[in-house]
Structure 1
Amino acid sequence: MLGRPVADSVIDHLASEISVFTERHRPPRLTVIIVGEDPASQVYVASKVKTARRCGIDSDLIELPSSTSEDKLLDLLARLNLDAGIDGILVQMPLPDHIGQQKVIEAISPGKDVDGLHPYNIGRIASDSPHLV
């Protein structure tokens, strides 16, 4: 099976659904956060942002230096969680060693957890409950 045609089909389907949503409301907004300067992560994040935009999702990229403290990242997530104009949050992993990955995952509101890694969302996935993940 060729991956590109399948991916294009999924993206086209999502773009159609997002277009309908946008007509009724507003474009959904995704905020992607990357901490550090890892070249592979930066390429991966750029691809995520490009694909989101192709689907009709407004997306923002927040690039933080690897010296960013855990508290600063958690404060940023708290602000993004409260921002009604942001529908999804994605924190690119891995994080620098001094930042607790699980703490960061749990700081993202389950309703904005694009990766579906928050314990609440993992439980909903495991129990096959309706979810947005």
Structure 2
Amino acid sequence: MHRFVFMKVKDVMTHEVRTVTSRTTAGELRKLFEQYDYNCFPVLEEDKLVGVVTKFDFLKTLVFQPTSMTPAYEELMKRPVSDFMTRTPFYVDPEQPLTRVLQLMIETRKNSFPVLDEKGHLVGIITYSDLLKHIG
């Protein structure tokens, strides 16, 4: 635990990040969630973070509509990520202490954050699993 107090995001983040675009369809996203077992994908347009999309965001698209007991699944799977992504995601800096990231995860109830450099470029992602590996 003593070492954890002095560690920074850049020390434990995942550097190679799988991303999607706002045009990625819900069907494509479902396959990516299955393939990689991630909880979240950063959404990039022209190398800039424009949002994040989580499994929860995806599942919300499947909620029954008041006018119909059965949503048209095929139609739902054609929806672009831009329809249901989180547009103003929390993000962290590579130099932030892990203790601050842990605090942010608890306060925001988010289990991962994109990591952006000083120019706003995505350089990694940090998850609660990354923190857990380094607490002990």
Query: One fold, TM greater than 0.5?
Result: no
| Higher-strand-fraction structure | 2
Q: TM-score, normalised by structure 2?
A: 0.29
Higher RCO (CA-CA < 8 Å; seq separation 6+): 2
| Higher-helix-fraction structure | 1
